[in-house]
Amino acid sequence: MNGQVKYIISQKHSSHRIESEEWMKVEDAFENFVGLDHIKDTLKSIAAWSVINRKREEFGLKTERQSHHMLFYGNPGTGKTTAARVMANLLKELKILEKGQLIEAERADLVGEYIGHTALKTRELIKKAEGGILFIDEAYSLSRGGDKDFGREAIDTLVKHMEDMNGRFICVLAGYKREMNGFLRMNTGLRSRFSHILYFPDYQLKELNKIAINMFRDKEYQLSKNANNRLLTIMREMDGINGNGRFVRNIIEFIIRAQAVRLLKVESLTKKDCILISEEDVIKGVEEFKKEKQDI
């Protein structure tokens, strides 16, 4: 039935069927995402648990709160923050989160300047995230100052509230794999708090190309065949772009600007002119991108 999943619960004299719209909500939320199948699978398992747990409650069976705190690790530009944003809204639709807001934080938002200040700042952030997701990027930076650094106080406060407020908010920590492994050793109870540890791999060339096409489409642009072939060649040859979706996003902005400069010279512009990205636009845009990168 078009990808939908049926859960069947039988009793002695009757059966109850749940056609899970939740399953389709996960598919729809990540429809335009490239890769991230492991994220979809994790969220489907969370959706399945939510549906069945509610049904158990209707039958008078025991139910439980599950911890959905998550750890994301992978290189920059692999979709961690974007996935967290979509996930926050989706988990609200699935009635797992009450509000579905995403509170993004970094070390400076949690660590204070004197004893007790850090715990206060961390608690305030958790309060803001209640009903939603607290997303801490580069979380390993909390452990960089050593034993006497206030970052350890932030970690200890976070661990305590992840347990005490289980089900009232979701904490997502993100960062590089090696650094995150070191960070988790800072507190013996930290790793056990995370039910889902998700790896965000680098994008392959075909995936980067699909990301580019999707981004152009979302902005109501279209690459000509020659323009797309040229972009593929450039991405294959460029240093630093491997696996990095953020890199692609930046290049696209330069290509769009190059198209705008070209179109200023065109008389009687048509809608098609404004939509089409030419091979010339790609070449000029990437040239400007490289110049700006070299100037830094």
Q: Please identify, among 170, 201, 232, the residue that sits at the C-terminal boundary of a domain.
A: 201
What rounded mean pLDDT belongs to the chain?
85
pLDDT beyond 50 at 18? no
- The CATH code of the domain that includes 75 is 3.40.50.300
Interval 150-171 mean pLDDT: 90
How many structural domains compose the chain?
3
β-strand pairing of 170-175 with 196-200: unpaired
Q: Please identify, among 158, 186, 201, the residue that sits at the C-terminal boundary of a domain.
A: 201
What CA–CA distance (Å, rounded) separates 63 from 44? 19
Interval 58-66 mean pLDDT: 87
The tokens of 34 are what?
């490239």
Weakest mean pLDDT among 38-52, 56-70, 122-136, 263-277: 38-52
Interval 61-68 mean pLDDT: 85
- The CATH code of the domain that includes 256 is 1.10.8.60
Q: Whose CA is closest to 180, among 166, 196, 191? A: 191
Tell me: do 179 and 217 sit in the same domain: no
pLDDT of 14 reads 36
Tell me: do 226 and 280 sit in the same domain: yes
pLDDT of 13 reads 36
Q: Please identify, among 12, 28, 63, the residue that sits at the C-terminal boundary of a domain.
A: 63
pLDDT beyond 80 at 239? no
pLDDT of 181 reads 83
Tell me: do 34 and 52 sit in the same domain: yes
pLDDT beyond 70 at 295? no
Tell me: do 242 and 126 sit in the same domain: no
Tell me: do 246 and 189 sit in the same domain: no
- Is residue 131 within 8 A of residue 98, CB to CB? The reply is yes
Tell me: do 131 and 164 sit in the same domain: yes
Tell me: do 89 and 58 sit in the same domain: no
Residues 6+ away with beta carbon under 8 Å from 273:
263, 266
Interval 64-92 mean pLDDT: 89
Tell me: do 76 and 139 sit in the same domain: yes
Tell me: do 212 and 272 sit in the same domain: yes
pLDDT beyond 70 at 278? yes
Tell me: do 70 and 191 sit in the same domain: yes
Interval 52-70 mean pLDDT: 87
Tell which wins on pLDDT, 23 or 108. Answer: 108
Tell me: do 190 and 213 sit in the same domain: no
pLDDT digit string, tens, across residues 96-151: 899 999 999 999 999 988 878 999 999 999 999 999 999 999 998 988 765 567 88
Tell me: do 144 and 193 sit in the same domain: yes
pLDDT beyond 80 at 216? yes
pLDDT of 148 reads 63
pLDDT beyond 80 at 4? no
Interval 208-221 mean pLDDT: 94
The tokens of 105 are what?
């934080």
Range of the domain at 3: 1-63
Weakest mean pLDDT among 17-31, 167-181, 274-288: 17-31
Q: Whose CA is closest to 154, among 141, 168, 172, 167? A: 141
Q: Note the pTM of the prediction, 2 decimals.
A: 0.79
pLDDT of 96 reads 87
